[in-house]
Amino acid sequence: MRTHRGMHRALRRGASRRERGIVALEFVLVLPILLLIALGIVDVSLMLYDKAQLTNAAGEAVRQGAMLRTTPYQQTNVQTVAQTYLANNLISRGTPSAQVLLLPTGGCSTVASGSPITVTISYQYSGMVLGSALSTLTGPVTVSAMATQDCE
């Protein structure tokens, strides 16, 4: 015959086994949600990094376009500067396909010294982690940057 203490220990042992099973079930239910949140944070961070690189590329392209040269940079030269910068610095799959726009289109050769020129770069970020799955539903996110500088 079991004593009162022996029965109490047996009940406690059964309760701890049930609690461990409940904890495992809660972990299985919460883990996918935590992973989605973590992957979403990574994807947004990558998009913000690419946005910073677009801003830097626009700044570098407008700086090169505004410099005083014997042969001023035209649209194609400025686009090459921006594309080269992006190819070396973007975190993305494949070749970056950014649209580069120079205003005025002739660059500093068509305006007087001191006139502003503007470089605008737009890029479609389709996501690398969670965003690639979501972009199939919502479409890619367009990230853009603009830089302006006066011609020398």
pTM for the structure as a whole: 0.74
Task: Give the integer Cα–Cα distance in Å for 131 and 142.
Answer: 13
Does residue 127 come out as left (phi exceeding 0), alpha (psi in the -120 to 50 range) or beta? left
Predicted local confidence at residue 8, as pLDDT: 55
Predicted local confidence at residue 2, as pLDDT: 54
Reading the chain (152 residues) residue by residue, the pLDDT tens digits are 556 565 556 555 655 666 777 888 888 999 999 998 998 888 888 888 989 999 999 999 999 888 877 787 888 888 889 888 988 888 765 446 677 887 887 777 777 788 888 889 988 887 777 777 777 777 778 888 999 988 88
